[in-house]
Amino acid sequence: MVVLLATSFPGEPEAQIRNLVRRHIDEAVFAEWPTMAKQSASLRVAPPALAEALRLALSLAPTSQGQIAAQREIVTGLENAMDARRQRIILSRSSVNWVKWTCLFAQAGCTLIAIAMVHSDNRAAAAIAMGIFATGVAVCVLLIASHDRPFSGEISVKPDVLLQVRPE
C-alpha cells in the first residue's frame, strides 16, 4: 500500500520510499527472521528503514488534496508495518511452557484410565474408545507443538508474504 501511494510523490521521494520499504523487507527477512527463530529478536531498536521512511513521509510537502490523503495513508501504512513487526517479535518470544505440557498429558492419562475403567467389561469398546481419545490427544499435541516457537522448526511461519510484496 505504501509503495502504491508513493507514486503520488513522483521522482526522488517515490524512489526513496520504494528503496526504504525494500530495505526494511530485506532486513526483516534476512536479519530479523533468524533472530526470531532463536527467540532473541528485540524491540529495543526501531527498524532503521521504517523509521527513515516515516521521517521522509512526514517531511513531504503535499501540494494537492490527493497528496495530503496519500501522505496520511503512507504514514498509517508505515505505522501498521511497525506494529506488525512488533507483533511478530512478541509472537516469536512465545512458547508453551512445561507446566502446560504436563497438565495436558496428566489430563489425557487420567481420561484414558477413566475410559478403560468404564469400559472394563467390554475390551473391544474400551480399545476403540481409548484409540479415538488417544488420536484426539495426539492431534492436540501436534497442534500445540506447531504453535510453540512459531518461527522455528519444520512447521514454522516463513517470510514468503513479505517477499511477495517487496518492491523491485
CA angle 98, 101, 105 (to 5 degrees): 140
Q: Does the pTM of the predicted model rise above 0.95?
A: no
| pLDDT, position 164 | 87
> Quick check: 89 and 43 in contact, CB under 8 A?
yes
Length of the chain: 168
Residue 1 is predicted with a pLDDT of 86
Cα(5)–Cα(21) distance, rounded to whole angstroms? 12
Q: Are the beta carbons of 57 and 17 closer than 8 angstroms?
A: yes
Residue 84: CA count within 13 A, CB half-sphere:
13
Q: Per-residue pLDDT for the chain (168 aa), expressed as one digit of tens each?
A: 888 899 889 999 999 999 999 999 999 999 999 999 888 888 888 899 999 999 999 999 888 999 999 999 999 999 999 999 999 998 888 888 889 889 989 999 999 899 888 888 888 888 898 899 999 999 988 888 877 878 877 778 888 888 888 888
115: exposed, middle or buried (Cβ count in 10 Å: 0-12, 13-18, 19+): buried
What is the structure's pLDDT at 98? 87
